[in-house]
Amino acid sequence: MRLFLVALFLILYSVFTIPMCLVEWAAGRINPDKKAVIAQKCVVTAFKIILFISGVKLTVKGKENILHDRAALYTYNHRGYFDILVGYTTAPMRTAYVSKKEIESVPMISWWMKCMNCLFLDRKDIKQGMQTITDGIELLKKGTSIYIAPEGTRNKGEGVLKFHDASFKLADKSKSPVVPVAINNTDEVFEKHLPWIHSQHVIIEYCTPIYMENMDRKEKKQIGEIVRQIISEKLEQNAQEI
């Protein structure tokens, strides 16, 4: 039943937000930053409704570590599609996600993502991948935070996969802080019960920001493993509360 309600909501939302396309276009002509803010507010509203319909009880920890006064690289463990929903409904205003290239071909979804300056990463094309990193660095420098899953793909097993160090170049080159984000139990909402949606308790915790400019060269080389360990420990602790 929850799946059908979510599907119905998405259909109706897509229809009723068609006029927003004109608003977004006009806002983009005047102020590209305003366009991204309007788009994110619309998406966050939709995601909150979907979480409600899905019966997700969301606990947010470490709110004091969400940086509203500067852009940051938010690195999260990727368990399921609902990671994006709980991430965006708690992230600071002007946040863009790094998504796989294939999502760019999905109608409506890709349009909203582009409005929010989301990036599409082609993992098979090294040159294009480097350009995505460069674009991400510029976004951070201009004040847009970025949400990225350094595992590179959705983890279907236990624990946390090895982090790709290239993800952290975004923070290093833009001199932005890294905020580790631990997300528990999103796969229990959908992925583990395909195709059905189940009501679940989800915990998202924002950990203490890490400033790479204060690290020596050796620590910077280990940043991926450092962040992975922080997230792994939080996941283990929070699992006891579910």
Mean pLDDT confidence for 68-80: 96
Burial 52-86 (b: 16+ CB within 10 A, else e): ebbebebeebbeebbbeeebbbbbbbbbbebbbbb
Q: Let me know if residue 83 belongs to a domain.
A: yes
Q: How many CA atoms lie within 13 A of 7 on its CB side?
A: 7
In-domain check, residue 231: yes
Say what the pLDDT of residue 27 is. Answer: 66
- Structural domain includes residue 26: no
- What pLDDT band is residue 129 in, cutting at 50, 70 and 90? confident
CATH value at residue 157? 3.40.1130.10
Each as own residue / partner, the long-range contacts of residues 155-163 (CB below 8 Å, 24 or more positions apart, any chain) are 155/77, 155/78, 155/79, 156/187, 156/191, 159/232, 160/77, 160/228, 160/231, 160/232, 160/235, 162/224, 162/228, 163/75, 163/224, 163/225, 163/227, 163/228
The total number of structural domains that make up the chain = 1
State which residues form the domain around 105.
56-239
Across the range 79-95, mean pLDDT stands at: 95
* 3 state DSSP class of 190: coil
In a domain, 40, yes or no: no
Residue 227: inside a domain, yes or no?
Answer: yes
- pLDDT at 222 > cutoff 80: yes
Phi/psi for 72 (5° steps) reads: -145, 160
pLDDT class of 152 with cuts at 50, 70, 90:
confident
What are the angstrom distances between the C-alpha of 225 and each of 106, 157, 164, 173?
Answer: 33, 18, 9, 19
Alpha-carbon separation of residue 75 from 2, 210, 223, 224 (angstroms)? 29, 11, 11, 10
pLDDT of 202 > 80? The answer is yes
